[in-house]
Amino acid sequence: MKHILLVFFLFPMLVFSQVNLEKAQQLFEEGKLEQAKPMFEVLLKKNPSNIKIIEYLGDIAGHSKDWDEALWYYGKLKKARPSEANFYFKYGGVLGMKALEVSKFKALGMIDEVQSNFEKAIELNPKHIEARWALIELYLQLPGILGGSEKKAIQYSNELSKISAVDGYLSRGHIEEYFKRYAKAEQHYKKAIVVGNSKKTYQKLANLYANKMKSPDKAQAVLEEYKKKNDN
């Protein structure tokens, strides 16, 4: 009888908690982060070890560019789930964003940790696409004296091509575009269109034409081709 009474009293609380979680998730999906955050914080007090709630709060902090708060949440996630690749990826991404806002001296001391978190994500999930994209960008943006390397960027692009052909072509096109080898970038983006046939692939080529090759007519033609294919 006591067990029945306990369930009777607890059930409304459990239902209420679930409704609040669903409401907070809905607000998050709608981009209403300021409204979602206090709800998640209340839920976390009731469920301090709930991985999903901690991740939502980390994501909200990241979107709000509160890098230290995001690192705190993602750090908790790494400790709680040390085999989850995405938590290392998110931690590395936020740390990289923080490094862009501090002095060059401080950033220098953060680069190795940024890199190691992305590499850990790949170690845990050999097919992790986003971590490879992040490493490509890292090696492109870093000066050579700090570890920047086109060769390493290409290495990760080649790895991407084995996992996802379209990401392989897009990443190699991105590298060529970064070094202003626009004709080569154009070739890779065209190959990405053939393989992926997605809005993103067409947009990358159109942006190259419009912003780098100063060919707005070609950019417009690419976008019209995409629209024509998807209208049929």
Tell me: the pLDDT tens digits for 59-99? 999 999 999 999 999 999 999 999 999 999 999 999 999 98
Which tokens go with 174? 């991105």
Residues 99-122: what's their mean pLDDT?
90
CA–CA dist 70, 175 (Å, integer): 29
151, pLDDT greater than 90: yes
Instruction: Give me the chain's average pLDDT, please.
Output: 90
Work out the pLDDT band at 7, boundaries 50, 70, 90: very low
pTM attached to this predicted model: 0.86
Q: What is the pLDDT of residues 25-50, one digit of tens each?
A: 999 999 999 999 999 999 999 999 99
CA–CA dist 58, 208 (Å, integer): 34
Contact 84, 58 (CB under 8 A): no
210, pLDDT greater than 50: yes
CA–CA dist 222, 170 (Å, integer): 16
Spatial CA neighbour of 72 closest among 82, 86, 59 = 59
Query: Amino acid identity, residue 152?
Result: K
CA–CA dist 96, 109 (Å, integer): 11
Instruction: Return the pLDDT at 14.
Output: 44
Instruction: Return the pLDDT at 145.
Output: 61
Which tokens go with 117? 């978190």
10, pLDDT greater than 70: no
Please provide the DSSP assignment of 207-228 as one string: HIIIIIS--HHHHHHHHHHHHH
231, pLDDT greater than 80: no
Instruction: Return the pLDDT at 12.
Output: 46
Query: Amino acid identity, residue 31?
Result: G
CA–CA dist 39, 53 (Å, integer): 10
Instruction: Return the pLDDT at 186.
Output: 97
Q: Which residues contact 5 (CB under 8 A, 6 or more apart)?
A: none
